[in-house]
């Protein structure tokens, strides 16, 4: 078989697994500039301690053990895509619909250290980061006008323009984008058909099948999805059913921190610090607590470039085999418990 | 207003027009290596005349005036994402669904000249290219197992890995990807509500509004869509209602060739040869001839990098204003008739 087309069970989207174009995992060159030479502090970096005058403000600081007194720091985005200036009311522009850019856009500085990326952090430090995600997520969703909150991280130049100091971002919007609704509608249909959450079914199957599992701990499973859209895509999914990231427990925060750090350390070591994005896919407002949805953290390395076919079809061509990607990432790391 | 969120009337997908992050059109640097120094023939290029032994075969040649005897040449893709080796039958893999990579993947060499891109071609030469698209599209859809045929072009290194000799690609698949169905379902719903094709409504509105129009001829309108997802996105749409690219008339082929060449020449000159993808978005099988669908050619320059927010939300952040983009592209070109 030259290639296989696989269906994402949750979204019913198809992906071409192009085995004929497949490369060995070792053949993927990181798209970014291999070694990043960074020092602990950069004079021109607004996220470094001592450069607070370069920030538009400080929303929150979570204490840490270092001399700075803080481990994570939340600051408004200096060039926000969305703000609270106007109400989230729709209006017409001719035949079209539009609305003001209502929402919240902030930066989560992950560490005082300019050169300390997640793989170099302790599990406790990553735990504080997850705790910060959770606090800001809950805070954002306390605004009734926020329909959806997305937490994401862009790592490396191919993953989007950004400052190099380790940071994540949070965006809350006054609408639910159509693509999110599509995912929810498919999950709802699956639940109506089977009476079970599609993500819970995927978890149960992957835990038993094991070919795509990278690691498992008490609360989380990390695996390459069956219909991965890009090489080395990884989903980190809570084993307990929960639609909303806001519902994560303290034990789960620790489990997520441990799993996230280990997966990113594996990517860093085995693929030589590839560029990637990760995003927390949580439920939109009014879907929180629903039995058909299940939040997950999705990591997408940027080793390939989507082209015209992907734009036209919405269907990815993945030149690697999910089972081989998982085996490569798992090797000599493997299940931690 | 810091930004505006606009809804694509056809897909109901939302786009953040981030006016606060907006750049002037002149500020967009092409992501690619500005000037491409190419000669008319390249010894190592399989698409150049005299290198036929490097091709896996020749499917079709359309005659041209040059000494080579052909203007366009259709060849199988040497590393096809899809083939006809296996039947397009679905099967189960555990709880998942998959199918063989059934389909067709071919390359349309657009000219014998290694260095002759569309803006340098005559309208007649682009007309032969459109004619070749049409012949191959009709041929691909004659296979009853092909549910959808996509013609696309990747230009420049940021637009996907490919050979530099001017060429397009055709992919026919044995399935309709979910993203295509979503577009069709939204168009169908619009038709059920209003009794009109949403694309025909958009055409009528844009022709009257004119702020986003780049050029208009007897048969085609080129405009920046109201909810453009990337800077300088352009849609080239037939004015006559037709769901299927296969239904294009000879007069429309000439109109498309003229519009496409002029839009691409404008991008080339005004944005200094930016990388881009274009794709012919036609209807899937069984939707051809439907009153709610309308094919169009979509051009997406690659001047920005989608990041974590776009991956998580499916919603683009466009840092330019569609009306300004259109004015910039239209300046001293403008409507041709």
Q: What residue in B sits closest to A316 (Cα-Cα)?
A: B177
Under 8 Å between Cβ of A94 and B205 = yes
d(CA B175, CA B148): 7
Q: What is the mean pLDDT of residues B71-80?
A: 94
Six-digit token string for A74: 């939340």
Q: Which two tokens stand for residue A20?
A: 């004929």
Give the one of B201, B280, B305 whose C-beta lies nearest to A95's C-beta.
B201
The model's pLDDT over A293-310, given as tens digits with 9 standing for 90+, comes to 999 999 999 999 999 999
Q: How distant is the Cα of A167 from the closest Cα of chain B, in angstroms?
A: 12
Q: CA-based Rg of chain B, rounded to a whole angstrom? A: 20
B286: burial class by Cβ within 10 Å (0-12, 13-18, 19+)? exposed
Instruction: Give the pLDDT band (50/70/90) at residue B329.
Output: very high
Q: Which residues pair with B237 in a beta bridge?
A: B221
This prediction has a pTM of 0.93
Burial zone of A66 (CB within 10 Å; 0-12 exposed, 13-18 middle, 19+ buried): middle
Q: Is the pLDDT of residue A280 over 90?
A: yes
Which single residue is written with the structure tokens 């990326």? Answer: A117
Task: Indicate yes or no: CB of B308 within 8 angstroms of CB of A279.
Answer: yes
CATH no. for A4-22+42-330: 3.30.428.10
**Average pLDDT for residues A230-259, to the nearest whole number?**
97
Q: B177-337 adopts what CATH topology?
A: HIT family, subunit A (3.30.428)
Contact B311 A209 (CB under 8 A): no
Q: Nearest C-alpha of chain A: how many angstroms from B304? A: 8
For chain A, counts of helices (H) and of strands (E): 6, 15
Q: Provide the pLDDT for residue A212.
A: 97
Q: Three-state SS for B140?
A: helix
Whether A179 and B314 lie within 8 Å, measured CB to CB: yes
Return d(Cα B19, Cα B117) in angstroms, integer: 33
The two three-digit tokens of residue A333, written as one number:
């790391």
Provide the pLDDT for residue A64. 87
- Is residue A145 a contact partner of residue B281, using CB atoms and an 8 Å limit? no
A41 CA to chain B: closest CA distance, Å?
Answer: 25
CATH 3.30.428.10 in chain B is located at: 38-175, 177-337
Q: Is the pLDDT of residue B28 over 70?
A: no
What pLDDT shows up at residue B336? 42
Domain spanning B38-175: which superfamily? HIT-like (3.30.428.10)
Which of B98, B102, B313 is nearest residue A179 as measured by Cβ atoms?
B313
Q: Do A9 and B83 touch (CB under 8 A)?
A: no
Over residues A222-241, the pLDDT tens digits come to 999 999 999 999 999 999 99
Query: Which residues 6+ apart lie within 8 Å of A301 measured at CB?
Result: A230, A231, A232, A233, A267, A271, A274, A275, A276
Q: What is the pLDDT of residue A11?
A: 76
Tell if the CB–CB gap between B6 and A86 is shorter than 8 Å: no
Give the other-Cβ count within 10 Å of A83's Cβ: 18
- pLDDT in the model for residue A288: 79
Q: What is the pLDDT of residues A13-22, one digit of tens each?
A: 888 887 666 6
pLDDT surpassing 60 at residue A33: no
Predicted local distance difference test score (pLDDT) of residue A191: 95
CA-angle at A316, arms to A298 and A164, nearest 5°: 45
Which residue bears the tokens 């893709």?
Answer: B77
């Amino acid at each position: 078989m030259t290639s296989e087309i696989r269906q994402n069970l949750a979204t019913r989207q198809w992906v071409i697994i192009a085995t004929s174009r497949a490369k060995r995992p070792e053949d993927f060159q990181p798209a970014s500039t291999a070694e990043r030479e960074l020092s602990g502090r950069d004079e021109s970096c607004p996220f470094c301690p001592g450069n607070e005058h370069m920030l538009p403000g400080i929303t929150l600081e979570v204490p840490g053990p270092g001399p700075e007194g803080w481990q994570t720091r939340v600051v408004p985005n200096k060039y926000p895509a969305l703000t609270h200036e106007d109400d989230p009311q729709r209006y017409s522009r001719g035949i079209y619909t539009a609305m003001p850019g209502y929402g919240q856009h902030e930066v989560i500085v992950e560490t005082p250290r300019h050169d300390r990326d997640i793989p170099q952090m302790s599990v406790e430090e990553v735990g504080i980061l997850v705790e910060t995600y959770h606090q800001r997520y809950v805070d954002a969703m306390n605004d009734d006008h926020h329909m959806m909150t997305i937490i994401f991280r862009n790592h490396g130049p191919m993953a989007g323009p950004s400052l190099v100091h380790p940071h994540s971002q949070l965006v809350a919007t006054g609408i639910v984008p159509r693509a999110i609704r599509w995912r929810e509608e498919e999950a709802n249909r699956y639940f109506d058909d089977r009476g079970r959450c599609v993500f819970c079914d995927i978890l149960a199957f992957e835990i038993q099948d094991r070919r795509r599992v990278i690691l498992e701990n008490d609360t989380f499973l990390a695996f390459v999805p069956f219909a991965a859209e890009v090489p080395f895509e990884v989903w980190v999914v809570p084993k307990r059913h929960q639609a909303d990231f806001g519902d994560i427990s303290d034990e789960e925060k620790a489990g997520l921190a441990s799993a996230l750090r280990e997966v990113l350390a594996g990517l860093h070591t085995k693929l030589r610090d590839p560029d990637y994005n990760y995003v927390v896919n949580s439920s939109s407002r009014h879907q929180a607590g629903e039995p058909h949805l299940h939040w997950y953290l999705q990591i997408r390395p940027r080793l390939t470039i989507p082209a015209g076919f992907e734009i036209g079809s919405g269907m990815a061509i993945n030149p690697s085999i999910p089972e081989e990607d998982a085996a490569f990432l798992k090797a000599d790391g493997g299940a931690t418990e």
